[in-house]
Amino acid sequence: MMKEIIADTLYVQLEEKLDKSQIEQLIEIPPDEQMGDFAFPCFSLARIYKKNPAEIAGQLSETLKLPDLFEKVIPVSGYLNFFLNKRILAKQVLGVCQSDTYGSKNLKKNIVVEFASPNTNKPLHLGHLRNISIGESISRLFSFCGNKVNRTSINNDRGVHICKSMLAYDLLSEGKTPENTGKKSDHFVGDYYVLFSKKASEDESWNEKAQEMLRKWETADEHTVRLWKTMNKWALEGFAQTYRLFGIGFDKEYFESDIYKSGKEIVNEGLEKKVFYKRDDGAVVVNLEHQKLGNKVLLRPDGTSVYIVQDLYLAVLKDREFNYDKSIYVVGNEQEYHFAVLIAIFKLLGYPVANKMKHLSYGMVELPEGKMKSREGTVVDADDLIEETKRLASEELKQRYELSENDLEERSLKIALSAIKYQLLKIDISKNMLFDPKKAISFEGDTGPYLLYSYARASSILRKTESKKDAVFSDLNIHETRLVRKISFFPDTITSAFERLSPSVIANYAFDLAQIFNEFYHACKVIGSDSEGFRIELVKGFRSVLKKCLWLLGIEEIEEM
Protein backbone atom coordinates (compact mmCIF):
# COMPACT_ATOMS: atom_id res chain seq x y z
CA MET A 1 0.00 0.00 0.00
CA MET A 2 2.55 2.57 1.15
CA LYS A 3 5.19 0.83 -0.91
CA GLU A 4 2.96 1.33 -3.91
CA ILE A 5 2.87 5.06 -3.33
CA ILE A 6 6.64 5.20 -3.09
CA ALA A 7 7.00 3.03 -6.17
CA ASP A 8 4.72 5.39 -8.10
CA THR A 9 6.76 8.46 -7.26
CA LEU A 10 10.05 6.74 -7.95
CA TYR A 11 8.81 5.33 -11.22
CA VAL A 12 8.35 8.78 -12.70
CA GLN A 13 11.66 9.97 -11.38
CA LEU A 14 13.60 6.95 -12.66
CA GLU A 15 12.54 7.58 -16.25
CA GLU A 16 10.96 4.15 -16.36
CA LYS A 17 14.29 2.36 -16.14
CA LEU A 18 12.63 -0.06 -13.74
CA ASP A 19 8.97 -0.99 -13.77
CA LYS A 20 6.72 -0.36 -10.81
CA SER A 21 6.60 -3.90 -9.49
CA GLN A 22 10.38 -4.13 -9.60
CA ILE A 23 10.65 -0.93 -7.59
CA GLU A 24 8.03 -2.09 -5.16
CA GLN A 25 9.93 -5.32 -4.58
CA LEU A 26 13.12 -3.47 -3.83
CA ILE A 27 11.54 -1.27 -1.19
CA GLU A 28 12.28 -2.46 2.30
CA ILE A 29 11.86 -1.48 5.89
CA PRO A 30 15.02 -0.18 7.54
CA PRO A 31 16.41 -2.20 10.44
CA ASP A 32 16.19 0.75 12.78
CA GLU A 33 13.13 2.99 13.01
CA GLN A 34 15.34 6.05 13.35
CA MET A 35 16.62 5.45 9.84
CA GLY A 36 13.17 5.94 8.40
CA ASP A 37 9.98 4.09 7.64
CA PHE A 38 10.84 2.78 4.20
CA ALA A 39 14.04 2.52 2.24
CA PHE A 40 14.92 2.19 -1.39
CA PRO A 41 18.35 0.69 -2.07
CA CYS A 42 20.00 2.29 -5.08
CA PHE A 43 22.61 -0.39 -5.71
CA SER A 44 20.82 -1.99 -8.62
CA LEU A 45 20.54 1.42 -10.26
CA ALA A 46 24.28 1.88 -10.13
CA ARG A 47 24.74 -0.42 -13.09
CA ILE A 48 21.99 1.22 -15.12
CA TYR A 49 23.13 4.79 -14.55
CA LYS A 50 26.81 3.93 -14.28
CA LYS A 51 27.12 6.03 -11.17
CA ASN A 52 27.79 5.06 -7.59
CA PRO A 53 24.73 4.34 -5.44
CA ALA A 54 25.36 7.17 -2.96
CA GLU A 55 25.39 9.69 -5.77
CA ILE A 56 22.16 8.33 -7.20
CA ALA A 57 20.47 8.41 -3.82
CA GLY A 58 21.66 11.98 -3.32
CA GLN A 59 20.28 13.15 -6.63
CA LEU A 60 16.99 11.36 -6.20
CA SER A 61 16.48 12.84 -2.77
CA GLU A 62 16.73 16.32 -4.25
CA THR A 63 14.52 15.86 -7.27
CA LEU A 64 11.88 13.57 -5.87
CA LYS A 65 8.42 15.08 -5.47
CA LEU A 66 7.11 13.64 -2.26
CA PRO A 67 3.43 13.00 -1.66
CA ASP A 68 1.91 14.58 1.46
CA LEU A 69 2.06 11.36 3.38
CA PHE A 70 5.85 11.70 3.46
CA GLU A 71 7.69 14.21 5.54
CA LYS A 72 11.15 13.88 4.09
CA VAL A 73 13.56 11.63 2.30
CA ILE A 74 17.22 11.29 3.23
CA PRO A 75 20.02 9.61 1.30
CA VAL A 76 22.21 7.42 3.47
CA SER A 77 25.06 5.37 2.02
CA GLY A 78 23.29 4.25 -1.10
CA TYR A 79 19.85 4.06 0.42
CA LEU A 80 17.01 6.47 -0.03
CA ASN A 81 15.26 6.61 3.33
CA PHE A 82 11.64 7.74 3.47
CA PHE A 83 10.07 9.25 6.57
CA LEU A 84 6.31 9.19 6.91
CA ASN A 85 4.41 12.13 8.25
CA LYS A 86 3.14 10.36 11.36
CA ARG A 87 0.19 12.66 11.86
CA ILE A 88 -1.16 12.02 8.38
CA LEU A 89 -0.34 8.33 8.65
CA ALA A 90 -2.22 8.06 11.94
CA LYS A 91 -5.22 9.82 10.49
CA GLN A 92 -5.28 7.57 7.46
CA VAL A 93 -4.68 4.32 9.30
CA LEU A 94 -7.06 4.93 12.16
CA GLY A 95 -9.67 5.96 9.66
CA VAL A 96 -9.77 2.55 8.04
CA CYS A 97 -8.38 -0.05 10.41
CA GLN A 98 -11.56 -0.65 12.35
CA SER A 99 -13.53 -1.61 9.30
CA ASP A 100 -14.40 -5.28 8.81
CA THR A 101 -12.68 -5.27 5.47
CA TYR A 102 -9.37 -3.78 6.62
CA GLY A 103 -6.66 -6.05 5.24
CA SER A 104 -9.12 -8.30 3.46
CA LYS A 105 -9.34 -9.16 -0.22
CA ASN A 106 -12.08 -10.00 -2.63
CA LEU A 107 -10.77 -13.00 -4.54
CA LYS A 108 -14.07 -14.84 -5.00
CA LYS A 109 -12.61 -18.29 -5.58
CA ASN A 110 -14.11 -21.57 -4.51
CA ILE A 111 -11.78 -23.43 -2.20
CA VAL A 112 -11.83 -26.90 -0.67
CA VAL A 113 -9.65 -27.49 2.36
CA GLU A 114 -9.19 -31.06 3.53
CA PHE A 115 -7.81 -31.59 7.01
CA ALA A 116 -8.02 -33.70 10.17
CA SER A 117 -8.62 -36.97 8.25
CA PRO A 118 -8.18 -39.33 11.21
CA ASN A 119 -8.06 -43.11 11.40
CA THR A 120 -11.01 -44.49 13.32
CA ASN A 121 -8.99 -46.81 15.51
CA LYS A 122 -7.63 -44.37 18.06
CA PRO A 123 -8.35 -40.95 19.50
CA LEU A 124 -6.93 -37.69 18.16
CA HIS A 125 -3.47 -36.69 19.35
CA LEU A 126 -1.21 -33.68 19.28
CA GLY A 127 -0.30 -34.26 15.63
CA HIS A 128 -3.98 -33.98 14.72
CA LEU A 129 -4.22 -30.77 16.70
CA ARG A 130 -1.43 -29.24 14.64
CA ASN A 131 -3.17 -30.44 11.50
CA ILE A 132 -6.56 -29.11 12.60
CA SER A 133 -5.15 -25.79 13.78
CA ILE A 134 -3.45 -25.29 10.43
CA GLY A 135 -6.49 -26.42 8.45
CA GLU A 136 -8.83 -24.12 10.32
CA SER A 137 -6.50 -21.14 10.19
CA ILE A 138 -5.88 -21.55 6.46
CA SER A 139 -9.62 -21.89 5.88
CA ARG A 140 -10.24 -18.65 7.73
CA LEU A 141 -7.44 -16.94 5.83
CA PHE A 142 -8.98 -17.96 2.53
CA SER A 143 -12.34 -16.83 3.76
CA PHE A 144 -10.96 -13.47 4.95
CA CYS A 145 -9.52 -12.99 1.48
CA GLY A 146 -13.01 -13.21 0.02
CA ASN A 147 -13.13 -16.84 -1.01
CA LYS A 148 -15.80 -19.43 -0.45
CA VAL A 149 -14.34 -22.17 1.72
CA ASN A 150 -15.53 -25.75 2.03
CA ARG A 151 -13.99 -27.72 4.87
CA THR A 152 -13.74 -31.45 4.34
CA SER A 153 -12.25 -34.43 6.09
CA ILE A 154 -11.71 -37.99 4.93
CA ASN A 155 -12.24 -40.53 7.68
CA ASN A 156 -9.96 -43.51 7.20
CA ASP A 157 -12.42 -45.99 8.59
CA ARG A 158 -11.44 -49.29 7.01
CA GLY A 159 -8.40 -51.46 6.52
CA VAL A 160 -6.31 -53.78 8.56
CA HIS A 161 -5.41 -51.14 11.17
CA ILE A 162 -9.08 -50.64 11.92
CA CYS A 163 -9.53 -54.40 12.24
CA LYS A 164 -6.83 -54.48 14.88
CA SER A 165 -8.81 -52.57 17.49
CA MET A 166 -11.94 -54.46 16.37
CA LEU A 167 -10.24 -57.79 16.89
CA ALA A 168 -8.93 -56.94 20.33
CA TYR A 169 -12.37 -55.74 21.33
CA ASP A 170 -14.07 -58.78 19.89
CA LEU A 171 -11.88 -61.19 21.82
CA LEU A 172 -11.12 -59.32 25.03
CA SER A 173 -13.85 -56.83 25.84
CA GLU A 174 -16.05 -59.00 28.07
CA GLY A 175 -19.07 -56.89 27.27
CA LYS A 176 -17.53 -53.57 28.16
CA THR A 177 -18.75 -50.46 26.35
CA PRO A 178 -17.98 -46.76 26.59
CA GLU A 179 -21.33 -46.34 28.33
CA ASN A 180 -20.81 -48.94 31.04
CA THR A 181 -17.20 -47.94 31.64
CA GLY A 182 -17.81 -44.20 31.48
CA LYS A 183 -14.95 -43.77 29.05
CA LYS A 184 -14.95 -41.29 26.16
CA SER A 185 -15.87 -43.46 23.22
CA ASP A 186 -12.87 -42.83 20.94
CA HIS A 187 -10.49 -43.39 23.84
CA PHE A 188 -12.31 -46.62 24.54
CA VAL A 189 -11.63 -47.75 20.96
CA GLY A 190 -8.02 -46.61 21.17
CA ASP A 191 -7.43 -48.71 24.26
CA TYR A 192 -8.15 -51.81 22.23
CA TYR A 193 -5.76 -50.69 19.52
CA VAL A 194 -3.00 -50.46 22.10
CA LEU A 195 -4.11 -53.78 23.55
CA PHE A 196 -3.89 -55.38 20.11
CA SER A 197 -0.34 -54.08 19.62
CA LYS A 198 0.66 -55.57 22.94
CA LYS A 199 -0.85 -58.94 22.09
CA ALA A 200 0.63 -58.92 18.59
CA SER A 201 4.11 -58.24 19.88
CA GLU A 202 3.81 -61.35 22.07
CA ASP A 203 2.05 -63.52 19.55
CA GLU A 204 2.47 -63.16 15.81
CA SER A 205 -0.82 -64.93 15.08
CA TRP A 206 -2.74 -61.79 16.08
CA ASN A 207 -1.57 -60.08 12.91
CA GLU A 208 -2.84 -62.97 10.83
CA LYS A 209 -6.15 -62.84 12.67
CA ALA A 210 -6.45 -59.15 11.85
CA GLN A 211 -5.88 -59.89 8.17
CA GLU A 212 -8.53 -62.57 8.38
CA MET A 213 -10.95 -60.13 9.92
CA LEU A 214 -10.30 -57.70 7.07
CA ARG A 215 -11.21 -60.43 4.57
CA LYS A 216 -14.41 -61.07 6.50
CA TRP A 217 -15.20 -57.37 6.51
CA GLU A 218 -14.68 -57.21 2.76
CA THR A 219 -17.08 -60.08 2.21
CA ALA A 220 -19.61 -58.32 4.42
CA ASP A 221 -19.60 -60.92 7.18
CA GLU A 222 -22.51 -59.97 9.38
CA HIS A 223 -20.82 -60.12 12.77
CA THR A 224 -17.74 -58.26 11.54
CA VAL A 225 -19.73 -55.51 9.88
CA ARG A 226 -21.85 -55.02 13.00
CA LEU A 227 -18.72 -54.82 15.14
CA TRP A 228 -17.17 -52.37 12.67
CA LYS A 229 -20.24 -50.15 12.67
CA THR A 230 -20.39 -50.10 16.46
CA MET A 231 -16.76 -49.22 16.95
CA ASN A 232 -16.63 -46.68 14.14
CA LYS A 233 -19.60 -44.95 15.65
CA TRP A 234 -17.76 -44.75 18.96
CA ALA A 235 -14.65 -43.38 17.32
CA LEU A 236 -16.49 -40.82 15.23
CA GLU A 237 -18.65 -39.65 18.12
CA GLY A 238 -15.51 -39.10 20.14
CA PHE A 239 -13.91 -37.10 17.32
CA ALA A 240 -17.01 -34.98 17.00
CA GLN A 241 -16.79 -34.07 20.68
CA THR A 242 -13.15 -33.08 20.35
CA TYR A 243 -13.83 -31.05 17.21
CA ARG A 244 -16.60 -29.21 19.01
CA LEU A 245 -14.40 -28.58 22.03
CA PHE A 246 -11.67 -27.28 19.75
CA GLY A 247 -14.13 -25.09 17.91
CA ILE A 248 -14.03 -26.57 14.43
CA GLY A 249 -16.38 -28.39 12.08
CA PHE A 250 -16.68 -29.65 8.51
CA ASP A 251 -18.98 -28.93 5.63
CA LYS A 252 -18.59 -32.47 4.42
CA GLU A 253 -16.99 -35.60 5.81
CA TYR A 254 -16.00 -38.41 3.49
CA PHE A 255 -15.53 -42.03 4.46
CA GLU A 256 -12.96 -44.32 3.01
CA SER A 257 -15.39 -47.23 3.33
CA ASP A 258 -17.70 -45.48 0.85
CA ILE A 259 -15.09 -44.85 -1.80
CA TYR A 260 -12.31 -47.41 -1.43
CA LYS A 261 -13.56 -49.46 -4.35
CA SER A 262 -14.09 -46.45 -6.60
CA GLY A 263 -11.67 -45.03 -9.05
CA LYS A 264 -11.32 -48.05 -11.30
CA GLU A 265 -12.82 -46.05 -14.18
CA ILE A 266 -9.90 -43.68 -13.87
CA VAL A 267 -7.51 -46.61 -13.96
CA ASN A 268 -9.23 -47.98 -17.05
CA GLU A 269 -9.07 -44.62 -18.73
CA GLY A 270 -5.35 -44.52 -18.02
CA LEU A 271 -4.94 -47.94 -19.59
CA GLU A 272 -6.87 -46.86 -22.68
CA LYS A 273 -4.79 -43.71 -22.98
CA LYS A 274 -1.72 -45.88 -22.51
CA VAL A 275 -0.37 -43.77 -19.66
CA PHE A 276 -0.66 -46.82 -17.38
CA TYR A 277 0.45 -50.30 -18.34
CA LYS A 278 -0.37 -53.85 -17.35
CA ARG A 279 2.49 -55.78 -15.88
CA ASP A 280 3.03 -59.48 -16.72
CA ASP A 281 1.37 -60.55 -13.47
CA GLY A 282 -1.70 -58.44 -14.22
CA ALA A 283 -0.95 -55.49 -11.92
CA VAL A 284 -1.65 -52.04 -13.32
CA VAL A 285 1.33 -49.74 -12.99
CA VAL A 286 2.16 -46.16 -13.86
CA ASN A 287 5.67 -45.24 -14.82
CA LEU A 288 6.75 -41.95 -13.31
CA GLU A 289 10.48 -42.34 -13.79
CA HIS A 290 10.58 -39.15 -15.83
CA GLN A 291 9.66 -37.28 -12.66
CA LYS A 292 11.96 -39.37 -10.48
CA LEU A 293 8.92 -40.87 -8.80
CA GLY A 294 9.56 -44.44 -9.89
CA ASN A 295 6.91 -46.97 -10.79
CA LYS A 296 3.71 -46.88 -8.83
CA VAL A 297 1.36 -49.84 -8.65
CA LEU A 298 -2.32 -48.87 -8.86
CA LEU A 299 -4.07 -52.21 -9.08
CA ARG A 300 -2.68 -55.36 -7.52
CA PRO A 301 -2.49 -58.54 -9.62
CA ASP A 302 -5.79 -59.66 -8.06
CA GLY A 303 -7.48 -56.52 -9.36
CA THR A 304 -7.93 -54.77 -6.00
CA SER A 305 -6.83 -51.17 -5.84
CA VAL A 306 -4.16 -49.46 -3.77
CA TYR A 307 -4.98 -46.50 -1.54
CA ILE A 308 -3.97 -43.86 -4.05
CA VAL A 309 -6.72 -44.93 -6.46
CA GLN A 310 -9.43 -43.82 -4.06
CA ASP A 311 -7.59 -40.53 -3.60
CA LEU A 312 -7.69 -40.08 -7.37
CA TYR A 313 -11.40 -40.74 -7.21
CA LEU A 314 -11.94 -38.43 -4.23
CA ALA A 315 -10.15 -35.53 -5.93
CA VAL A 316 -12.47 -35.85 -8.91
CA LEU A 317 -15.52 -36.38 -6.70
CA LYS A 318 -14.79 -33.22 -4.74
CA ASP A 319 -14.30 -31.32 -7.97
CA ARG A 320 -17.72 -32.50 -9.11
CA GLU A 321 -19.39 -31.68 -5.80
CA PHE A 322 -17.76 -28.33 -5.11
CA ASN A 323 -16.55 -27.26 -8.54
CA TYR A 324 -13.45 -25.93 -6.85
CA ASP A 325 -10.82 -23.51 -8.09
CA LYS A 326 -8.34 -24.84 -5.59
CA SER A 327 -8.20 -27.94 -3.44
CA ILE A 328 -5.89 -27.80 -0.45
CA TYR A 329 -4.74 -30.93 1.35
CA VAL A 330 -3.46 -30.30 4.85
CA VAL A 331 -1.43 -33.46 5.29
CA GLY A 332 1.89 -34.21 7.01
CA ASN A 333 5.18 -34.07 5.13
CA GLU A 334 5.61 -37.84 5.32
CA GLN A 335 3.06 -37.99 2.50
CA GLU A 336 4.84 -35.68 0.10
CA TYR A 337 5.65 -38.58 -2.18
CA HIS A 338 2.02 -39.68 -2.19
CA PHE A 339 0.79 -36.28 -3.32
CA ALA A 340 3.57 -35.82 -5.84
CA VAL A 341 2.45 -39.11 -7.41
CA LEU A 342 -1.21 -38.17 -7.22
CA ILE A 343 -0.68 -34.91 -9.04
CA ALA A 344 1.73 -36.46 -11.53
CA ILE A 345 -0.90 -39.06 -12.47
CA PHE A 346 -3.52 -36.40 -13.08
CA LYS A 347 -1.05 -34.55 -15.27
CA LEU A 348 -0.45 -37.66 -17.33
CA LEU A 349 -4.17 -38.16 -17.68
CA GLY A 350 -4.63 -34.54 -18.68
CA TYR A 351 -7.10 -33.82 -15.88
CA PRO A 352 -7.48 -30.14 -14.96
CA VAL A 353 -7.52 -31.01 -11.23
CA ALA A 354 -3.76 -31.53 -11.55
CA ASN A 355 -3.32 -27.79 -11.56
CA LYS A 356 -5.87 -27.10 -8.85
CA MET A 357 -4.57 -29.42 -6.16
CA LYS A 358 -2.09 -28.34 -3.53
CA HIS A 359 -0.53 -30.44 -0.82
CA LEU A 360 -0.07 -28.13 2.15
CA SER A 361 2.64 -30.09 3.86
CA TYR A 362 3.53 -29.59 7.48
CA GLY A 363 6.22 -31.00 9.75
CA MET A 364 5.79 -33.50 12.50
CA VAL A 365 5.35 -32.76 16.14
CA GLU A 366 8.05 -34.31 18.25
CA LEU A 367 8.25 -34.74 21.98
CA PRO A 368 11.39 -34.24 24.08
CA GLU A 369 11.74 -38.02 24.19
CA GLY A 370 11.33 -38.32 20.40
CA LYS A 371 8.64 -39.18 17.93
CA MET A 372 5.13 -40.00 19.05
CA LYS A 373 4.08 -43.61 18.51
CA SER A 374 0.44 -44.43 19.06
CA ARG A 375 1.09 -48.15 19.12
CA GLU A 376 3.42 -47.68 22.03
CA GLY A 377 1.15 -45.22 23.75
CA THR A 378 3.80 -42.46 23.71
CA VAL A 379 1.42 -39.87 22.36
CA VAL A 380 0.07 -36.66 23.76
CA ASP A 381 -3.66 -37.19 23.61
CA ALA A 382 -5.67 -34.24 22.31
CA ASP A 383 -8.42 -34.35 24.94
CA ASP A 384 -5.95 -34.89 27.78
CA LEU A 385 -3.84 -31.96 26.64
CA ILE A 386 -6.82 -29.64 26.44
CA GLU A 387 -8.07 -30.80 29.85
CA GLU A 388 -4.70 -30.42 31.51
CA THR A 389 -4.06 -27.00 30.00
CA LYS A 390 -7.51 -25.92 31.04
CA ARG A 391 -6.83 -27.04 34.57
CA LEU A 392 -3.64 -24.96 34.67
CA ALA A 393 -5.47 -21.96 33.28
CA SER A 394 -8.17 -22.42 35.85
CA GLU A 395 -5.60 -22.40 38.67
CA GLU A 396 -4.05 -19.22 37.33
CA LEU A 397 -7.45 -17.60 37.18
CA LYS A 398 -8.39 -18.61 40.71
CA GLN A 399 -5.17 -17.14 42.03
CA ARG A 400 -5.98 -13.77 40.55
CA TYR A 401 -9.69 -13.21 40.38
CA GLU A 402 -12.95 -14.06 42.07
CA LEU A 403 -15.03 -15.69 39.36
CA SER A 404 -18.31 -17.49 39.13
CA GLU A 405 -18.23 -21.17 38.24
CA ASN A 406 -19.48 -20.39 34.74
CA ASP A 407 -16.97 -17.64 34.03
CA LEU A 408 -14.14 -19.76 35.36
CA GLU A 409 -15.16 -22.64 33.14
CA GLU A 410 -15.56 -20.56 30.02
CA ARG A 411 -12.43 -18.48 30.43
CA SER A 412 -10.15 -21.31 31.38
CA LEU A 413 -11.18 -23.21 28.26
CA LYS A 414 -10.65 -20.21 25.99
CA ILE A 415 -7.31 -19.44 27.56
CA ALA A 416 -6.21 -23.06 27.28
CA LEU A 417 -7.23 -23.27 23.63
CA SER A 418 -5.46 -20.01 22.86
CA ALA A 419 -2.29 -21.40 24.42
CA ILE A 420 -2.45 -24.65 22.45
CA LYS A 421 -3.46 -23.17 19.11
CA TYR A 422 -0.95 -20.34 19.26
CA GLN A 423 1.83 -22.71 20.24
CA LEU A 424 1.00 -24.93 17.26
CA LEU A 425 0.59 -22.10 14.75
CA LYS A 426 3.45 -19.78 15.56
CA ILE A 427 5.99 -22.17 14.11
CA ASP A 428 6.46 -22.28 10.35
CA ILE A 429 4.31 -25.16 9.18
CA SER A 430 7.01 -26.68 6.99
CA LYS A 431 9.20 -27.32 9.99
CA ASN A 432 9.12 -30.14 12.44
CA MET A 433 8.36 -28.75 15.84
CA LEU A 434 9.27 -29.77 19.31
CA PHE A 435 6.49 -29.79 21.82
CA ASP A 436 7.50 -29.99 25.43
CA PRO A 437 4.23 -30.39 27.31
CA LYS A 438 5.79 -29.04 30.49
CA LYS A 439 7.19 -25.87 28.96
CA ALA A 440 5.06 -25.35 25.90
CA ILE A 441 1.88 -24.63 27.74
CA SER A 442 3.13 -21.55 29.46
CA PHE A 443 1.02 -18.44 29.75
CA GLU A 444 3.80 -15.87 29.67
CA GLY A 445 5.74 -14.20 26.91
CA ASP A 446 5.20 -15.32 23.34
CA THR A 447 1.96 -17.22 24.00
CA GLY A 448 -1.73 -17.24 23.22
CA PRO A 449 -2.72 -15.97 26.67
CA TYR A 450 -0.38 -12.99 26.21
CA LEU A 451 -2.44 -12.04 23.17
CA LEU A 452 -5.70 -12.51 25.05
CA TYR A 453 -4.36 -10.47 27.93
CA SER A 454 -3.40 -7.60 25.65
CA TYR A 455 -6.81 -7.72 24.07
CA ALA A 456 -8.52 -7.71 27.47
CA ARG A 457 -6.47 -4.69 28.56
CA ALA A 458 -7.58 -2.76 25.50
CA SER A 459 -11.18 -3.78 26.10
CA SER A 460 -10.88 -2.70 29.70
CA ILE A 461 -9.82 0.80 28.74
CA LEU A 462 -12.68 1.13 26.30
CA ARG A 463 -15.13 -0.17 28.86
CA LYS A 464 -14.06 2.46 31.34
CA THR A 465 -14.43 5.48 29.18
CA GLU A 466 -17.48 7.25 27.92
CA SER A 467 -15.36 9.88 26.34
CA LYS A 468 -16.76 11.49 23.26
CA LYS A 469 -13.76 13.69 22.79
CA ASP A 470 -12.73 14.12 19.19
CA ALA A 471 -9.51 12.54 18.14
CA VAL A 472 -6.97 15.30 17.69
CA PHE A 473 -4.06 14.29 15.52
CA SER A 474 -1.13 16.18 16.92
CA ASP A 475 2.46 15.00 17.07
CA LEU A 476 2.79 11.39 18.05
CA ASN A 477 5.17 10.07 20.65
CA ILE A 478 7.35 7.07 19.97
CA HIS A 479 4.91 4.53 21.40
CA GLU A 480 1.96 5.90 19.51
CA THR A 481 4.02 5.99 16.34
CA ARG A 482 5.10 2.39 16.67
CA LEU A 483 1.57 1.22 17.25
CA VAL A 484 0.18 3.13 14.28
CA ARG A 485 2.96 1.84 12.07
CA LYS A 486 2.41 -1.75 13.13
CA ILE A 487 -1.32 -1.46 12.54
CA SER A 488 -0.58 -0.09 9.09
CA PHE A 489 1.36 -3.26 8.26
CA PHE A 490 -1.62 -5.54 8.80
CA PRO A 491 -2.71 -5.67 5.13
CA ASP A 492 0.83 -6.53 4.01
CA THR A 493 0.93 -9.23 6.66
CA ILE A 494 -2.25 -10.76 5.30
CA THR A 495 -0.86 -10.69 1.77
CA SER A 496 2.30 -12.39 2.88
CA ALA A 497 0.47 -15.00 5.00
CA PHE A 498 -1.83 -15.70 2.07
CA GLU A 499 0.93 -16.03 -0.49
CA ARG A 500 2.81 -18.41 1.73
CA LEU A 501 -0.29 -20.09 3.18
CA SER A 502 1.36 -19.53 6.51
CA PRO A 503 -0.50 -18.97 9.78
CA SER A 504 2.82 -18.35 11.52
CA VAL A 505 3.16 -15.05 9.66
CA ILE A 506 -0.05 -13.90 11.34
CA ALA A 507 0.92 -15.34 14.71
CA ASN A 508 4.25 -13.55 14.71
CA TYR A 509 2.63 -10.31 13.62
CA ALA A 510 0.01 -10.62 16.36
CA PHE A 511 2.68 -11.07 18.98
CA ASP A 512 4.69 -8.05 17.80
CA LEU A 513 1.51 -6.02 17.70
CA ALA A 514 0.50 -7.03 21.22
CA GLN A 515 3.98 -6.34 22.49
CA ILE A 516 3.98 -2.86 21.03
CA PHE A 517 0.57 -2.27 22.54
CA ASN A 518 1.74 -3.35 25.98
CA GLU A 519 4.65 -0.96 25.77
CA PHE A 520 2.24 1.80 24.78
CA TYR A 521 -0.11 0.79 27.59
CA HIS A 522 2.67 0.99 30.11
CA ALA A 523 4.04 4.31 28.93
CA CYS A 524 0.91 6.20 27.91
CA LYS A 525 -2.05 6.84 30.10
CA VAL A 526 -5.17 6.90 27.96
CA ILE A 527 -8.08 7.95 30.14
CA GLY A 528 -7.73 11.48 31.35
CA SER A 529 -4.71 12.29 29.21
CA ASP A 530 -4.44 15.36 26.98
CA SER A 531 -4.70 13.23 23.88
CA GLU A 532 -7.46 11.03 25.22
CA GLY A 533 -9.58 11.21 22.08
CA PHE A 534 -6.74 10.16 19.83
CA ARG A 535 -5.50 7.45 22.14
CA ILE A 536 -8.92 5.90 22.44
CA GLU A 537 -9.09 5.67 18.66
CA LEU A 538 -5.67 4.08 18.71
CA VAL A 539 -6.74 1.50 21.31
CA LYS A 540 -9.85 0.76 19.27
CA GLY A 541 -7.78 0.29 16.17
CA PHE A 542 -5.37 -2.01 17.93
CA ARG A 543 -8.17 -4.05 19.43
CA SER A 544 -9.90 -4.41 16.10
CA VAL A 545 -6.77 -5.59 14.30
CA LEU A 546 -5.72 -7.97 17.07
CA LYS A 547 -9.21 -9.41 17.05
CA LYS A 548 -8.85 -10.17 13.34
CA CYS A 549 -5.51 -11.86 13.98
CA LEU A 550 -6.99 -13.99 16.75
CA TRP A 551 -9.87 -14.97 14.52
CA LEU A 552 -7.48 -15.92 11.74
CA LEU A 553 -5.67 -18.17 14.20
CA GLY A 554 -8.93 -19.77 15.28
CA ILE A 555 -8.64 -18.20 18.73
CA GLU A 556 -11.64 -16.72 20.55
CA GLU A 557 -11.01 -13.45 22.31
CA ILE A 558 -12.22 -12.68 25.84
CA GLU A 559 -13.18 -9.25 27.15
CA GLU A 560 -11.71 -9.86 30.58
CA MET A 561 -8.93 -12.20 31.63
Partner RNA sequence: GCCCCUGUAGCUCAGUUGGAUAGAGCAACUGCCUUCUAAGCAGUGGGCCACAGGUUCGAAUCCUGUCAGGGGUACCA
Task: List all residues 6 or more positions away from 510 whose beta carbon is below 8 Å from its beta carbon.
Answer: 451, 546, 549, 550, 553
Tell me which residues in 71-100 interact with RNA (CB under 7 A): 76-79, 81
Tell me which residues in 108-167 interact with RNA (CB under 7 A): 119, 156, 158-161
Contacts 24+ apart (CB under 8 A), 515-520: 516/479, 516/482, 516/483, 516/486, 517/454, 517/457, 517/458, 517/483, 517/542, 517/546, 518/454, 518/457, 519/479, 519/482, 520/479, 520/480, 520/482, 520/483
Considering only 8, 55, 409, 428, the residue that binds RNA (CB under 7 A) is: 428
Q: Report the alpha-carbon distance of residue 454 to residue 511 in Å, rounded.
A: 10
How far apart, in Å, are the Cα atoms of 421 and each of 130, 157, 271, 400? 8, 27, 46, 24
Considering the complex, state which of residue 148 and residue 306 has its C-beta at the smaller distance from RNA: 306
Considering the complex, state which of residue 69 and residue 306 has its C-beta at the smaller distance from RNA: 306
Decide: 224 and 213 in contact? Cβ < 8 Å: yes
Nearest to 282 by CA among 262, 303, 264, 308: 303
21 contacts RNA (rule: CB under 7 A): no
The neighbour count for residue 91, using CB atoms within 10 Å, is 16
Decide: 499 and 531 in contact? Cβ < 8 Å: no
Considering only 55, 407, 446, 556, the residue that binds RNA (CB under 7 A) is: 446
Considering only 166, 397, 420, 553, the residue that binds RNA (CB under 7 A) is: 397
403 contacts RNA (rule: CB under 7 A): no
Residues 408-427, mask of contacts with RNA (x by CB under 7 A) = ---x---x----------xx
Among 123-131, 228-236, 269-277, 505-513, which window interacts with RNA (CB under 7 A)?
Answer: 505-513
Q: Is 88 exposed, middle or buried (0-12, 13-18, 19+ CB in 10 A)?
A: middle
Considering the complex, state which of residue 243 and residue 455 has its C-beta at the smaller distance from RNA: 455
Kind and range of the H or E element at 291? none
Among 189-197, 200-208, 378-386, 504-512, which window interacts with RNA (CB under 7 A)?
Answer: 504-512
Considering the complex, state which of residue 36 and residue 99 has its C-beta at the smaller distance from RNA: 36
Q: What does DSSP say about strands 70-76 and 79-84: parallel, antiparallel, or unpaired? A: antiparallel
**Residue 290 Cβ, how far from RNA at the closest point, in Å?**
13
**Residue 470 Cβ, how far from RNA at the closest point, in Å?**
18
Among 193-201, 235-243, 263-271, 332-340, which window interacts with RNA (CB under 7 A)?
Answer: 332-340
Say how many residues touch RNA, by CB under 7 A.
99
25 contacts RNA (rule: CB under 7 A): yes
Considering only 320, 404, 445, 468, the residue that binds RNA (CB under 7 A) is: 445
Tell me which residues in 180-239 interact with RNA (CB under 7 A): none
**Residue 526 Cβ, how far from RNA at the closest point, in Å?**
4
